[in-house]
Amino acid sequence: MIRLTAMLRRHESMTPEEFRAHWSTTHAELIRSTPGVAEHILRYEQHPRLVGASGEWTGGDHDGVTVQWFESRAAFEAMLRAPDYLARVAPDEQRLLDFERSAFLLTDEPRVILGE
């Protein structure tokens, strides 16, 4: 199993509130309902930035984190090539995200140090 973890920055055309609303509703539903996407993702998590928090633990200019779990790298790559992903989800990501200022990381199975 692999995971895609992304520190997301919203597109400059969106306010933090618009980003949060769109990400949690419209984009989430696209992920859930788009053929070629939902069947490849084993788990999809959204972790929005804590509203109104101050201090060094607030993520700087990032607006949230997403974690997507896949059976394999091949499954992840198949999702990225899926026609419905390219037609529906990718254009929404272009409206939603600032790819230049976001960070994406593919990782292997975690090594659990503490907890289950």
Say yes or no to pLDDT of 53 above 70: no
| d(C-alpha 86, C-alpha 94), whole Å | 11
The confidence band for 55, taking pLDDT boundaries of 50, 70 and 90, is: low
Domain assignment present for 81: yes
Average pLDDT, the chain: 92
Domain assignment present for 115: no
Say yes or no to pLDDT of 57 above 80: no
Q: What is the CATH number of the domain that holds 48?
A: 3.30.70.100
Domain assignment present for 113: no
Q: How many domains does the chain have?
A: 1
**What range defines the domain where residue 6 resides?**
2-52+60-107
CB 40 within 8 A of CB 76: yes
Q: What would the pLDDT profile of 67-111 be if each residue is shown by its tens digit?
A: 999 999 999 999 999 999 999 999 999 999 999 999 999 999 888
Say yes or no to pLDDT of 58 above 70: no
Domain assignment present for 112: no
Entry pTM: 0.87
Q: Which tokens hold the place of 69?
A: 């779990």
**pLDDT number for residue 2:** 96
| d(C-alpha 32, C-alpha 10), whole Å | 20
Per-residue DSSP letter, 40: T
Backbone angles phi, psi at 76, to 5 degrees: -60, -45
**pLDDT number for residue 56:** 63
Q: What would the pLDDT profile of 6-33 be if each residue is shown by its tens digit?
A: 999 999 999 999 999 999 999 999 999 9
